Chains A and B, each alone.
Chain A
């Protein structure tokens, strides 16, 4: 009996034979799929008369963009359009990372506040914004909040200089005038003076132990020196204030509603995660550290800065890095409200117009990969420097 089972099912029941069989099967399936994709693409491209390759980047795009940080007009190439999209993605990512970090640290520290109300409010903030999908939050700011703002003719105006309407936030823009050179020189001087002052304060504290109101002095310097230059040499620039001309405002700078909604939503959403990261980082530092600092007479703010934060940074940085990556990748949700980021502009409109799907997607994916790897690299360098100080 047992013998007959052994011989009849010998190959099927042999684990090594099975493993081989599955691996061969897997290879065949992948190869077939790859061949199908390649073949399909070839036929599709031939069918639509599209040549593959990157020559299309030279062609004129022929459409305008709602926000561009570099000079761009309709006759410019797809290649230039790519740069416009890249700059817009970087803009929202960088501003978002800065805002989310500041907000996240404040809320994370507030989460541990001795004040009951502050603690509860930050808990509510975290639980609310962390648990709503980011696209929905973008829609909320874009459709629910900014759509309630009136049109250009009924703009909300602040001091007749700032105007908010459904086309965006219009702010005065500086245009350089006669006094600009002395003014800039004065700014540079003030900055240099502040840096020298900071070093002097440190040296003096090391020598004599006496403190110095550094921040206040620097602020005064930064205001007084350029102010003096402006008084003597004339105004450095004048402001072009946005003015209603016809149906819309002219002059000044505009923050388009898409940017505003995307930026606020991404920062608020990511800040909730960063706050949790910061809270758990601070809690990872044992209570004995706070007690030791207290028993030495260090003030709570000093303890936070010199004892708790430096130790918690080691725990905070790895998850913080992944939050930065998330924010950058989530910025592609811009497509949902038509903010001209790289995905909606390049992997969206350009792809549709040219049909060069493989090329545009490949370029866009590579760019995200490069951005993400750069962020990881930077954060790793920082983490190494923090970690080195322990041993």
Chain B
């Protein structure tokens, strides 16, 4: 399977281009000269110690956080203060959060159709068909009329993935999608993500699931203290890390 997932072609088209991106929280320099290029169909895993700036990096890509220096171009759209550009980018970039952030007052189906109806202007019936299609893909079509509070954590996270997919995004961002889950539910979510990877989705995942990184990623990036310290294909990254900080980190998480 690992070969199958990786043998999929990576396009030439550049989907995300981050150039010398810097960000500060007050005096605190969170992101230091981040340079990152993601091509179509590429699957990248971002790891590093807590507080190293992984979330901030991916949240800059859809402007949940604003960077102060450098350029970010997503699918040929420059991320500047222009609201039209931000809207355009958010339409094409899906995001999955650590704590799911489903809308608790809406059913699973309504969670999935809200944005397609109001942002993509899809007819309701079509939006529901799309939603059911993706709910089938994450294997919970039978829960469509329940509310998020009635589902297990793993099911909620799969709904969150389906909700993002319903917008037919070109890029998916994952911010520690399995960290808030009970251990027995991690696999069902990772399997869903592997399925996505096999379909050729461009993915940027913050995760410490090293098995997933080995199976799916084209490239693993290690961040520490707001910098990209090392990046390499997974085999090389795990078996032969170059940087001392990477070795220390891997030593800690791989025991």
Contacts and interface: CB of A to CB of B under 8 A. Distances in A.
Given A291-B101, A390-B149, A391-B147, A296 B125 contact: no
B105 A297 contact: no
B94 interface: yes
Given A286-B101, A311-B105, 12 more contacts: A205-B117, A209-B117, A289-B101, A292-B101, A294-B63, A294-B64, A295-B62, A295-B164, A296-B164, A307-B103, A310-B105, A391-B147
A390 B105 contact: yes
A115 interface: no
Given A207-B124, A208-B123, A390-B104, A296 B163 contact: yes
B93 A295 contact: yes
A302 B120 CA distance: 13
A298 B127 CA distance: 15
Give the top 10 A-B pairs by smallest Cβ distance, nearest first.
A206-B124, A292-B101, A296-B115, A295-B95, A297-B90, A288-B101, A209-B123, A209-B121, A297-B119, A297-B91
A289 B111 CA distance: 12
A306 interface: yes
A16 interface: no
Contacts of B186: none
Contacts of A384: none
Interface string A63-99: 0000000000000000000000000000000000000
B150 A298 contact: no
Interface in A353-391: 389-391
A268 to B, nearest CB: 32
B114 to A, nearest CB: 6
Interface in B69-126: 87, 90-91, 93-95, 97, 99, 101-105, 114-115, 117-126
A207 B94 contact: no
Contacts of A292: 95, 97, 101-103
15 contacts: A205-B123, A205-B124, A206-B124, A206-B125, A288-B101, A291-B64, A295-B95, A296-B94, A298-B115, A306-B118, A311-B103, A311-B104, A311-B105, A390-B105, A391-B150
A209 B64 contact: no
Contacts of B118: 298, 302, 306
A116 B142 CA distance: 47
A245 interface: no
A130 to B, nearest CB: 30
A210 interface: yes
B97 A291 contact: yes
Interface of B: 62-64, 87, 90-91, 93-95, 97, 99, 101-105, 114-115, 117-127, 147, 149-150, 163-164, 167
Given A291-B97, A292-B97, A292-B101, A298 B124 contact: no
Contacts, number: 82
Interface in A327-352: none
Most buried by B among A288, A293, A297, A299: A297
A294 to B, nearest CB: 6
Nearest to B104: A390
Interface string A303-316: 00011001100000
Interface residues of A, number: 27
A297 B167 CA distance: 9
A299 B91 CA distance: 11
A299 B83 CA distance: 10
A53 interface: no
A293 B163 CA distance: 11
Contacts of A293: 103
Nearest to B64: A291
A286 B99 CA distance: 11
B61 to A, nearest CB: 10
Given A295-B62, A298-B118, A311-B105, A391 B149 contact: yes
A111 B252 CA distance: 46
Nearest to B83: A299
A209 B101 contact: no
A49 interface: no
A205 B127 CA distance: 11
A211 interface: yes
Given A207-B124, A391-B147, A296 B167 contact: yes
A289 B99 contact: no
Contacts of A391: 147, 149-150
A390 B97 CA distance: 21
Nearest to B96: A295
A147 B112 CA distance: 59
Nearest to A314: B105
Interface string A28-69: 000000000000000000000000000000000000000000
B103 A211 contact: no
Contact of A297 (B64, B87, B127): B87
A270 B116 CA distance: 40
A211 B149 contact: no
Contacts of A205: 117, 123-124
B150 A296 contact: no
Contacts of B121: 209-211
A289 B125 CA distance: 25
Contacts of B99: 288
A211 B123 CA distance: 10
Contacts of A208: 123
Given A209-B117, A390-B104, A391-B147, A295 B90 contact: yes
A391 B120 CA distance: 28
Contacts of A295: 62, 64, 90, 93-95, 164
A12 to B, nearest CB: 58
A297 B125 contact: no
Most buried by A among B87, B117, B118, B164: B118
A298 B149 contact: no
A294 B95 CA distance: 10
